[in-house]
Amino acid sequence: MSEPGTTPGPLAGVRVVELAGIGPGPFAVMMLADMGAEVIRVDRVTGPGADYTPNPVIERGRRSIALDLKAAAGVAVLLDLVETADVLVESYRPGVAERLGIGPDECARRNPRLVYGRLSAWGQDGPWAQVVGHDINYIGLTGALHAIGRAGERPVPPLNLVGDFGGGAASLAFGVVCALWESRTSGQGQVVDANVLESTAGLMGLIHGLRAQGRWSTERGANLLDTGAPFYDVYTCADGRWMAFGAIEERFFRNALVVLGLGDRDDLLGAHKVPEHWPALRAALTTAFASRDRDAWTAAFAGVESCVTPVLDLDEAARHEHAVARRGYAPIPGSDMAQAAPAPRFSRSATPLPAAAPVPGADTASILGELGRDADEVARLAADGVVGLSPA
């Protein structure tokens, strides 16, 4: 895992209240927890729905209190918790928090310095604010999905990395930290309106810029970075596994040709600069890579400046020598699988692996105690179904 620093994490001392959600919301909060923020997740009293399976990675680093936010007494507990917090994060459909009586206005009355982070699909307003969707729908409306895939084939969903996580979650986490910084001088909190649609559009900045320069076509699979160029693509090896070939620059390209046994092909030297020569170059690269297994090519390219590397699966990635040397992965508690360690790292601030994901309601009693509720009141709230206590 990350190297321990000499001081607490950079967000140590920041308390975040998270209204439990799925996908990008928990991932954004994981990012905050990884940086040392204290996170209290508010789960449902009834527990997750039948279609919910706790994620041991993106829900790490929290404590959990189970509240019925449809009950006035549950809302009262939440607002007491808000009073102690620096940040609240919710990823409900627009308007839901307000209907529950826990929207920005209600929370600001209890804590004017609160940063209220909101993550939605399309934003808090606009004609599509209430439209349902998932990552594939959001990125479909930004042009990102259209741009990903090979020529003549359907667009390929890039998991949900581009919209939910690289877009919405990262935007929310960044926005929260920006608002926290601003509050240091203003003394006031504010609402952070992050959404997947606009955040994904922002990720397309490089592509928009290339189009403005006349260097990017809307035709899929015809550009530098979308498999249109044979020197930026994935090639199949003799064992059916793959190598990633990214030799864009002249010297890297020449080095790669030498390793592939193509260094004496005068017709290929400089071919990466001439689109008319790309079909012949692709054919030559395809044939060369198919002649040896992936690991043999990995060994052949080791130490050569060529931008050619193996395509690893998830298990192999955690075992790669560079990941091992930098302690980039750590075990998932209760599993033999790995999870990525917190990133980025800091010269002084520690970023240790956060605690395991909690069972919903695991910390209800202790959190209520911190809010001044005695044991009798905790028992009464539990009996009334306002709070949930996890089994011992």
**Cβ–Cβ < 8 Å for 353, 341:** yes
- Cβ density class 87-116: b for 16+ within 10 Å, e for less: bbbbbbebeebeebbbbbebbbebbeebbb
Active-site residue 134, yes or no?
Answer: yes
User: Cα 286 to chain center, whole Å?
Assistant: 33
Instruction: Name the residue among 121, 89, 103 with its Cα closest to residue 25.
Output: 89
Tell me, what amino acid is at 236? T
Half-sphere exposure of 280 (CA within 13 A, CB side): 14
* DSSP per residue, 279-329: HHHHHHHHHHHTTS-HHHHHHHHTT-SS-EEE---HHHHHHSHHHHHTT-E
The helices-and-strands tally (H runs, E runs) of the chain is 16, 12
Which listed residue (164, 226, 233, 363) is catalytic?
A: 164
Residue 355 DSSP one-character state: P
Which listed residue (80, 134, 277, 320) is catalytic?
A: 134
Instruction: Name the residue among 101, 171, 100 with its Cα closest to residue 138.
Output: 171
Any idea what the Cα angle at residue 266 is, between residues 261 and 268, rounded to 5°? Answer: 70
- Cβ density class 214-229: b for 16+ within 10 Å, e for less: eebeeebbebebbbbb
Residues with catalytic annotation? 134, 164
